[in-house]
Structure 1
């Protein structure tokens, strides 16, 4: 039996931002794990994402109204399944742009090679407070298709920026960059600790894809390359219900 998913609230449902930092954990789970399940419950998702049932409930209400989730059953027996995940991802891309949501700093480095910058970073204690982003993340995931030698880093703690500038011998650069430091919008996703067994952690694949898509320096090209080759992204675009 299919049921309607209505939750009483004084807030206009359509005004809620389900693409905010905390909500992104739920969306990420849906597009990575939920996509492979026949159905799932509110509590199951809340437990897997380590967030409140209330947060999942608010996100699901919007997704049901927008047709991204379908429901079966009623009340406590209600189950959900994701429908047309590629449209959910498209909607997310329309609401999020790294250029608009994240503050960035562009630099030239005193080191002559990118490898030297990375060595300096790996030797420092700050390596645990950064994560590869954008093209650097694509490379870390083994799916880079450009010859760019830039280094893009998320700062998990923005206060470390002065120390990073010192250790990596960074000087501000107005046009272009060798090193790009970024204050993250989706810090919750980055804190899921994706390190791929390497000294420096890396943005999750889905976040790297979202970031690249609107990034002006060959970002869309790189994002589309990833979508055709990385299994978890290919699954989103091929999945149907």
Structure 2
């Protein structure tokens, strides 16, 4: 992985004419409800940071702006975003794919965020990545993952932007992982906070590649298992 930002300082030559992409529709506000004590010095890894909206949300909130946020993204223009890096939001930034992160690195973080990323992977890579994240993170850490709960149609916009959606994740798969809490945004984008306990249920994570899995089907499944679809609300399970 190539490092672009180290301790808030840009350490690579930046290509300024590139256009960054990646604005997650996930319920990012859930991040403020994960820990019992937000005054801790929380270390966050934002995988697929895109335009940096999660980092900006954290730094704009006076209760958690002291958290340290590192980012990695597979789309190189996102790692050349001078405007974002000059705001000193991200402490360290790497260019690379989530599946290329050394597993031992995950133990450094209290919170790993994978927001609207996993649907860009194929089925086997998605299953491998989720298992790896849960296996590698500390026992007291959390994984905040978001994804459409249906096959949200999305294709590439510019070369190598990694925007295409390859899979969908039914609500049954996410709820079967026994999340600590969750929230669902429009249009049926679920955010789920997983703890180490989710590793015991990892075999129930079964994404699909069926592009006919539409919004109504995803909503029907969510309703059937009483997965509450109340945008702006956070539902705690344990």
TM-score normalised by length of structure 1: 0.28
Greater relative contact order structure (CA < 8 Å, 6+ sep): 1
More helix by share: 1
More strand by share: 2
Flag the structure with larger Rg: 1
